[in-house]
Amino acid sequence: METNQIQENTDSEMTIDIGKILKVIKINKWTILIVTIFSAALGIFIAINIPNEYASQVQILPELESKDAAGGLSKFKSLAGLAGVDLGGMGGTDAVRPDLYPNILQSTPFLMNVMNMKVYASKYKKTMIMSKFMEENENQELSTRIFGKSDDKEKDMPIINPQTIPLETIRLDKKQDDLIKDLQKRVGTTLDKKTGVISISAKMQDPVIAATIVRYAQDYLTNYVVNYRTEKTLKDIKFLGERLNEAKRRYDNALYSYSSYQDRNKGLFLNIAKDQGKKLQYEVDLSYNLYSELAKQLEEAKIKVHRETPIFKVLEPAQIPVKKSEPKRSVMVIGFAFLGLILSIFYVLVRNYKSLGIFG
């Protein structure tokens, strides 16, 4: 009986408190309404002044694993066998792992290439350098117009002599560093581990530039992986080609010397002449064997380049977006209005806490 009575008293107090809260809200409804409308108007102002963002995306399916010597080269074995080329010892090499692709498109060299590329800005109807386009859009940002640009001039940075900078070392100034960091946020790469599909996206304030950057990123990534897989073999081909030319000249010279010797010494039976002829014959055989071996290795290397070149299948090509991806202006206005409503109600309740008796 006592427990039920306590519960009834508690429910009665809660009912009275809720009634008081609703009464206070009703009395101050105009204050709440004005604050809500002001918050909504602020949301409209911010939403209108935020520039449109356009997103473009491309999807590619890379070759996830290299072909083995038995499967990938089976169609070449019969042809190579006729030429005396042995492909049995050629093993596969792994490509750059797909989970490292996002790192490639977030690297400073790639972003610097994007910053220096020429793009057509449909927003300004002219071709311009990417860095200039980003600077122009930065000046139009709402935060820049209200608060101005940051005047950070790196006062604590020491003076660096360009001649003391090591080779292949990148040095950026403050403006370049800020633009690259902004670009890093706008270019993204994701890997679907289940399907292996690589998605490359770019978000810019111009639809044409967004599609241009995505297309460039696709080419940069595929070329980077292809060069990684074939760079060593291509160097081998260049080296073998040079050695093969030298071996051919050596063989031609040896064969010419031997043929000239035979023409000059017909009908001679001296042992000295025979020994000289044998030496020239050995030189011809040695030169030919060297030339033949280098030719075989060169053909093997050429086939290896074909085998190690990865394949990228474009599933969804880059497209110029036909509608903006950001901002969601209606959502922003509703969010600001709701925030204003919550804050105004909280303010009214705090201001009337004595009459409510729920805050102390």
Report the chain's mean pLDDT, rounded to a whole number.
78
Task: Indicate the SS3 state at residue 77.
Answer: helix
What does the pLDDT look like over 330-360, one tens digit per residue? 888 899 889 988 988 888 888 876 666 554 4
Tokens of 299: 């053909």
Q: How far apart are CA 45 and CA 210, in angstroms?
A: 26
Q: How far apart are CA 177 and CA 154, in angstroms?
A: 12
CA torsion 44-46-49-50 (nearest 10°) is -120
Q: Domain limits of the chain?
A: 1-50+327-360, 51-326
Going by C-beta distance under 8 Å and a sequence separation of 6 or more, which residues neighbour residue 218?
A: 58, 60, 200, 314, 318
What does the pLDDT look like over 24-64, one tens digit per residue? 778 888 888 888 889 888 888 887 878 888 999 999 988 76
What does the pLDDT look like over 175-226, one tens digit per residue? 888 889 999 999 999 988 888 899 999 999 899 999 999 999 999 999 998 8
